[in-house]
Structure 1
Amino acid sequence: MGVNYTTVGELKEGNYIVIDGEPCRVVDIQKAKTGKHGAAKANVVAVSVFTGSKKTLMAPVDQQVEVPIIEKHVGQILADTGEKLQVMDLNTYETFEMEKPTEADLASKIRPGAEIEYWTIMGRNKIVRVK
């Protein structure tokens, strides 16, 4: 599946975490002190890498959580088919289709021949930078 594990207490802003099966980047963590009975709790706010939706996780700081393994690759755009992009990995020369980025700053730079950095997270690809 492409995940590692860590505890909620070890998370920091900017880390990645899996919430509801969706890889997310942590944007805020609030840790509450231990009460009279029980463990300290943490409220984690994260944003989905693929959809941009906000997700929250409330859990004890010693609870195990999944951390997605992020593989970083370099590719070249071969064609723009309207809804998808045809991309060739510049290391393996494998060609595949992937979603177009929805972020305006990335979408404006997408053109055939452009070099891109893309991440593979949990079997899905995402363009993070156009070179």
Structure 2
Amino acid sequence: MSIQYTTVGDLKVGSYVMIDGEPCRVVEITKAKTGKHGSAKANVVAIGLFTGQKRSLMAPVDQQVEVPIIEKHVGQILADKGDNLTIMDLESYETFDLEKPTENEIVSKIRPGAEIEYWSVMGRRKIVRVK
């Protein structure tokens, strides 16, 4: 588990955060200053990297949250097995199977021999783009 910690107040749109154990990309942040003795609160809306599900987090701006460390890798598609793809990492030459992405712009470019960029986050992998 590769994570680091930051405060809710330091999050920005486009950054990544763990919400309910799922790595998410922040799409909206609203901050509200409460009354005389309260602390400022932030409402963070994020979309899961792997599920695409919208999640929200309401917390004080000084609360610590987990930020996933995203490892970016380059690989090559060896075979298309219907719902899965066999990928070879171009640095370590490790081969593994990944689920085929659902985004149309990525699916249209998938073919054996194509180079891809994939992310490794919290022990899970996802194809981000086809080069």
Q: TM-score, normalised by structure 1?
A: 0.97
* Inter-partner Cα distance in structure 2 for 1:66 and 1:6: 7
Deviations 1:13-51 (A, max 9, x none): 000000011100000000001322221000000011111
> 30-39 or 81-90: which moved more?
30-39
Q: Once the two structures are aligned, what percentage of the paired residues are identical?
A: 75
Counting only pairs closer than 5 Å after superposition, residues 8-87 of structure 1 correspond to structure 2 as 8-87=8-87
Q: Secondary structure at the match of 1:109?
A: coil
Distance in 2 (CA, whole Å) between partners of 1:37 and 1:13 is 28
5+ long unaligned stretches in structure 1: none
Equivalences for 1:90-101 in 2 at 5 Å? 90-101=90-101
Unpaired runs of 5+ residues, structure 2, are none
Shift of 1:108: 1.1
- Give me the whole-angstrom Cα distance separating, in 1, the residues matched to 2:89 and 2:115: 10
Is it true that 1:5 corresponds to 2:11 in the alignment?
Answer: no
2 CA distance for matches of 1:103 and 1:35?
A: 44
CA distance in 2 between partners of 1:11 and 1:46 (Å)? 11
Question: Where does structure 1 differ by over 2 angstroms across 4 or more consecutive aligned residues?
Answer: none
CA distance in 1, matches of 2:102, 2:5: 29
Aligned length: 131
The aligned counterpart of 2:126 is: 126
Query: Deviation string for 1:80-124 (max 9, x for gaps)?
Result: 111111000000000001111111111111111110000000001
Aligned-pair distance for 1:52? 1.0
- 1:4 and 1:35 mapped to 2: Cα distance? 31
Please give the alpha-carbon distance, in whole angstroms, between the structure 2 residues aligned to 1:93 and 1:64. 37
In 1, Cα distance between equivalents of 2:77 and 2:106: 13
Superposed CA RMSD in Å reads 0.7
